Amino acid sequence: MNPSPPPFTGGPPVCRPDPAAGQRWTFGFAGGLTAEVHTHGARLHGLWAPDRHGRTADVVLAPRDPGETTAAARYFGATVGRYANRIAHGRFTLDGTPYQLTTQENGHCLHGGTDGFDTRTWEAESVHTPERTGVLLHLRSPDGDQGFPGNLDATVGYLIGRNDELTLTYAAVTDAATPVNLTNHAYFNLEGEGAGTVLDHELTVDASHYTPVDGDLLPHGEHLPVSGTAFDLRRPLRLSEALARPGRRPMAVGGGYDHNFVLASGGDGTLRRAAVLHAPVTGRRMEVFTTEPGLQVYTGGQFEGTVVGKSGTPYGAGAGVALETQHFPDSPNRPGDPSTVLRPGEEYRSMTVLRFGVRG
């Protein structure tokens, strides 16, 4: 069984101290979405949404122990940065100066390095109006943090509206040129956390191209058309069907998707639809809108049951799917991709909206 929502009847966000989570913030509107956000990692720890019968379930994967934020559970629900996704060998050159970042996975920099934003405890403040409620979280990343140049001040917002939308906002300023690419790393299961796999979910991705990767999941070559491949998700397709196509499996090792999709929106700052996730069993439907040019789809093919979820169920392969709105992997080393460089006097801004509803 999925855990019940935390005690909450609306009103301003409620803050509870927790040594493992930093602070637990709970917020939402009666009869709609309820969220739980932790200040450690600016982390979405829970999100309760109604199904077609009005029954709520937590649709976000997270470890049973909120202090388990290392190893396999490290990125669950977290805000990742200073650079989401991978930078090859942790190296890039900016304005003629070479930089070396901390590295971990196969000698590359993943999600900001060995001590990324997901490991920090952010400062939080509540936001509450008649139409929206939530929290803003703030972090100072000093010059040289994980090898990145410049002092960076970042703000992440989680805001729920009365229209059953969860809006994630990102903002940052710097005093020296630096790459910035922030995203949220939540895994979703619209049948409910711990209910099984997402293989019966239908996924639509509004992308005509994707980014091919090598064995280290680093980009190689140009973005390729999705037409005629396992990456063509422009129409709703059950994940079980997509992953079973003969000769078209997206990944030879681990199975499933862990790829960047080049969105039709182009990342021009306009909020446009990127994806739709639908669970026919419960009727829950989540539309993803973003100002970002890319969407990293990861179907958890490498989950091995080492993380035990909030409901007490170990997370096996396909227990959830991450839909990470972001710029493209290794962009600091790929001049043909949209730039991720933030300079003094500029402001980094990004928005992603998760719109929930039911169908059928």
Which residues are annotated as catalytic? 185, 324
147-162 burial code (b ≥16 CB/10 A, e <16): bbbbbbebbbbbbbbe
C-alpha distances (whole Å) from 293 to each of 259, 272, 304, 329, 359 are 14, 10, 31, 11, 28
In the numeric block, the tokens 């995203």 are attached to 183
Backbone angles phi, psi at 310, to 5 degrees: -60, -30
Distance from C-alpha of 356 to C-alpha of 39, rounded to nearest angstrom: 24
CB atoms within 10 A of CB 279: 25
Distance from C-alpha of 257 to C-alpha of 248, rounded to nearest angstrom: 11
Integer-rounded Cα Rg, in Å, for the chain is 19
From the number of C-beta atoms within 10 Å of its C-beta (0-12, 13-18, 19+), residue 337 rates as: buried
The phi-psi region of residue 296 (left if phi > 0; otherwise alpha if psi is between -120 and 50; otherwise beta) is: beta
Residue type, 123: E
